[in-house]
Structure 1
Amino acid sequence: MSSSQQLEVGEGEESGLDEELRKQAVRETGRGSASPAGRKVTFGFHLVEGKTPHGMEDRHVAEFRRLEDGNEVGLFAVFDGHAGADVATYLREHLFDDILREPGFWTDTVDAIRRTYHRTDRRVLEMTEEEGDGEERRRRNAGSTADVGAGAGTEFVVLASDGLWKVMSNQECVDAVRGTADARKAAAELVGEALERGSADDIACVVVRLH
């Protein structure tokens, strides 16, 4: 595979938000691109801190990584912090490394990811139990997250924390992104729309354009 990844990270000057919304703390904004196997993929991200007093708890990953065997993978995720940023930070720093080291990743990717998720979940629970709140964490995370599939014809992927999904539907996000070629601008516009709709939570948004 060949790639020429480029990554730009800014502080929100070109975020696409109006002056009033820009006053809300922009934590990170940036864009990148790569051409694995000669196919250009672009991505953009935009993160803002919410109005709640706990500080920014959301984390993200958006990068292409070349492995020692020469293969290249795109790594994209949003980790929505709850009751602190410790778990989200741990996942950002460890989850993808653990997945890529999992035996069978290239031959049975889904199963390798599933095994890593289960192992990571146990590790996080062990860490929280050592701090005395493991059972409470279990109760808080007893809910479910909707699964959204992607096929061969997928144009783009939107990953975001619940600061966005609480106020926008999947279709509204699709309609907003489809008309914006620049992935970072698309992410910033989604965040801006969520803020205009009254979202007070932290928001992390990653847009990946596949075509």
Structure 2
Amino acid sequence: MGHGMEDYIAAENRKIDGYELGLYAIFDGHSGRDVAEYLQGRLFDNILSEPDFWTSPKKAVRKAYEATDDEILKKVVGSRGGSTAVTAILIDQRELIVANAGDSRAVLCRNGKAKQISVDHEPTKEKELVESKGGFVTEMPGSVPRVDGQLAMTRAFGDAKLKEHITSEPDIKVENIDDDTEFIILASDGFWKVMSNQEAYNSIEDMEDAQEAAETLIREALSRKSYGDISCIVVMFH
């Protein structure tokens, strides 16, 4: 990897206005840990403090992502540091709100099938978006595509030097949790670079303990020689 671990995770339960909330996130920092650490302590508070969260959750999440990025650019980061984010808010075990900016991923597992419910914001996929903002995408031999030759994703928090050409705007998905829903997996890109969605499901489909399942997935990714930071959360439904 050539650097220290820059990922942070969040996993907590809260009771708000009579609702039971499960809050889960992976923050994958780059060029330092400061942005990911800030997101761990701040992003969910900003989302849940939006007055229209209960009536228009997608609008609230989008506003909170933007507001948090503004805070980071003003208070936290120099020209380089940044972080991706994938966040999942589980409401009363019935509704799941997933948002992401960057290449960490959320996968919903139901009836034996793994369904990706986040978007990998890769430069080749969003080349037009970058170019519309005045940036460019390069792909050097032996390396991954990068925005302005530097960043391997098109959406992230921080990264002040590139902010004119990237965005922190998330893709957002709302899913109902039914009796057939088995579990969700959140993981950073170091995991998904060596494991497909369905392979991840198959590796833990018979497990009942979420912590054990997450540790199993991490060990499997390491055995496949992943060279990126690896963070993983499994949330099981029984």
- Shorter-chain TM-score: which interval? 0.5 to 0.7
The answer to whether residue 29 in structure 2 is matched with residue 60 in structure 1 is no
Partner of 2:192: 165
Match of 2:33 among 85, 94, 101: 85
Alpha-carbon separation, structure 1, partners of 2:195 and 2:14:
31
Secondary structure in 1 matching 2:30: coil
What CA deviation, in whole Å up to 9, does each residue of 1:83-108 have, x standing for no partner?
A: 11111100000000111111011122
Partner of 1:155: 182
Matches within 5 A, 1:4-15: none
Alpha-carbon separation, structure 2, partners of 1:111 and 1:146:
11
Partner of 1:201: 228
Secondary structure in 2 matching 1:61: strand
Match of 1:190 among 201, 204, 217: 217
The answer to whether residue 51 in structure 2 is matched with residue 103 in structure 1 is yes
Quick one: structure 1 residues 144 and 109, their matched pair in 2 at CA, closer, same or farther if it must change by over 3 Å? closer
Partner of 1:138: 163
Specify the code of the residue in structure 2 equivalent to 1:66.
K
TM superposition shift of 1:139: 7.3
Alpha-carbon separation, structure 2, partners of 1:140 and 1:182:
42
User: Normalized per residue, which structure has more helix?
Assistant: 1
Alignment gaps of 5+ in structure 2: 81-158
TM superposition shift of 1:77: 0.5
Report how many aligned residue pairs link the two structures.
158
User: Do the aligned residues in 2 keep the contact of 1:128 with 1:137 (CA within 8 Å)?
Assistant: no
User: Normalized per residue, which structure has more strand?
Assistant: 2
Identity %: 46
TM superposition shift of 1:151: 3.8
Greater length-normalized contact order (CA 8 Å, ≥ 6 residues apart):
1
Specify the code of the residue in structure 2 equivalent to 1:207.
V
Give the RMSD, CA atoms, in angstroms: 2.6
TM superposition shift of 1:119: 1.4
Match of 2:63 among 115, 128, 137: 115
Specify the code of the residue in structure 2 equivalent to 1:60.
I
Quick one: structure 1 residues 113 and 143, their matched pair in 2 at CA, closer, same or farther if it must change by over 3 Å? closer
Specify the code of the residue in structure 1 equivalent to 2:199.
E
TM-score (norm 2): 0.59
User: Do the aligned residues in 2 keep the contact of 1:125 with 1:137 (CA within 8 Å)?
Assistant: no
Alpha-carbon separation, structure 2, partners of 1:101 and 1:119:
11
User: Do the aligned residues in 1 keep the contact of 2:65 with 2:168 (CA within 8 Å)?
Assistant: no
User: Do the aligned residues in 2 keep the contact of 1:173 with 1:190 (CA within 8 Å)?
Assistant: yes
TM superposition shift of 1:135: 4.1
Alpha-carbon separation, structure 1, partners of 2:193 and 2:50:
34
TM superposition shift of 1:176: 1.4
